[in-house]
């Protein structure tokens, strides 16, 4: 078996976890409370990736609400989702096999996501994925979200390893652009939460399924 010299940092939503079903439940609960029309899961998915506030603003605009509702919808949605981030969510295809393989090979893994830190940690715990990750970096105050490199650099520091070879694995331009800004390699996985042609995102590699990473890097 080829010696593996890389550490891996994963995006969360649309990369590791199909989390839109729980987001959908939480946002529609909020929209109903404030007498706004509900949104489809498919449409909501196009708004994911830039944090809860951005998503809330886009939902309000789409559902015919006024700018004055941005903050109240955001706070209500955040509370609803924070209370129940894992009821309908599932792992993305190939994820558990890939995580198990890397874990067995003692490859260090982390998470870097624009989802809030508290919610990310809660979701990972409820999905019983804690053992896989050396470090988890979610959105927090005063740190710019991806595609800025700040969160990714913080995640890299969290590995506390002399091995500075990293891959960022994600599904959107936010992940790939953050990797470029942090000067590390990247892998984009099809089937995630982007409506762009992933082959044009400029990732180092493109794969159809998470498990393809093992073959791609000749790790098996």
The token pair that represents 34 in the structure block: 């404030």
Query: What is the C-alpha to C-alpha distance for residues 11 and 156, in angstroms, rounded to an integer?
Result: 13
Domains located in the chain, CATH noted: 7-18+89-216 (3.40.50.1000), 20-83 (1.10.150.240)
The token pair that represents 150 in the structure block: 């700040």
Closest CA to 143 of 135, 155, 160, 130: 155
How much is the mean pLDDT over the chain? 95
Q: Report yes or no: 179 and 188 within 8 Å, Cβ to Cβ.
A: no
User: What's the whole-number mean pLDDT along residues 141-148?
Assistant: 96
Please name the residues in contact with 92: beta carbons below 8 A apart, sequence gap of 6 or more. Answer: 14, 15, 16, 17, 18, 189, 191, 192, 210
| pLDDT at residue 217, as a whole number | 82
User: What's the whole-number mean pLDDT along residues 170-190?
Assistant: 97
Model confidence at 219, in pLDDT bands (50, 70, 90)? low
The token pair that represents 18 in the structure block: 């199909």
Closest CA to 55 of 8, 130, 119: 119
pLDDT per position as a tens digit, 87-110: 999 999 999 999 999 999 999 999
User: What's the whole-number mean pLDDT along residues 105-128?
Assistant: 96
Residue 47 three-state SS: coil
Q: In sequence order, what are the beta bridge partners of 185?
A: 167
Query: What is the C-alpha to C-alpha distance for residues 27 and 113, in angstroms, rounded to an integer?
Result: 19
pTM (two decimals): 0.94
Model confidence at 5, in pLDDT bands (50, 70, 90)? confident
| pLDDT at residue 1, as a whole number | 53
Model confidence at 4, in pLDDT bands (50, 70, 90)? low
pLDDT per position as a tens digit, 65-83: 999 999 999 999 999 999 9
Closest CA to 172 of 151, 153, 191: 191
Q: Report yes or no: 27 and 36 within 8 Å, Cβ to Cβ.
A: no
| pLDDT at residue 220, as a whole number | 54
Is residue 29's pLDDT more than 60? yes
User: What's the whole-number mean pLDDT along residues 113-131?
Assistant: 96
pLDDT per position as a tens digit, 51-68: 899 999 999 999 999 999
| pLDDT at residue 195, as a whole number | 85
Model confidence at 32, in pLDDT bands (50, 70, 90)? very high
Is residue 165's pLDDT more than 60? yes
* Beta strands per DSSP E along 59-209: 90-91, 109-116, 135-139, 166-170, 185-189, 205-207
């Amino acid at each position: 078996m080829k010696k593996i010299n890389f550490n891996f940092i994963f995006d969360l939503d649309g990369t590791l976890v199909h989390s839109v079903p729980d987001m959908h439940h939480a946002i529609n609960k909020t929209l109903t409370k404030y007498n706004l029309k509900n949104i489809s899961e498919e449409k909501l998915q196009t708004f994911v990736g830039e944090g809860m506030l951005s998503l809330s603003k886009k939902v309000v605009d789409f559902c015919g609400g006024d700018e004055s509702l941005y903050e109240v919808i955001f706070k209500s949605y955040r509370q609803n989702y924070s209370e129940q981030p894992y009821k309908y969510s599932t792992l993305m295809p190939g994820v558990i096999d890939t995580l198990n393989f890397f874990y067995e090979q003692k490859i260090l893994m982390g998470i870097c996501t624009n989802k809030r830190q508290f919610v990310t940690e809660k979701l990972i715990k409820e999905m019983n994925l804690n053992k896989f990750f050396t470090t988890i970096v979610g959105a927090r105050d005063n740190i710019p979200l991806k595609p800025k490199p700040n969160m990714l650099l913080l995640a890299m520091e969290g590995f506390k390893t002399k091995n500075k070879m990293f891959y960022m694995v994600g599904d959107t331009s936010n992940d790939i652009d953050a990797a470029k800004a942090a000067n590390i390699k990247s892998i984009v996985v099809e089937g995630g939460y982007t409506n762009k042609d992933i082959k044009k995102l400029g990732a180092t590699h493109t794969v159809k399924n998470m498990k393809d990473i093992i073959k791609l890097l000749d790790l098996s």
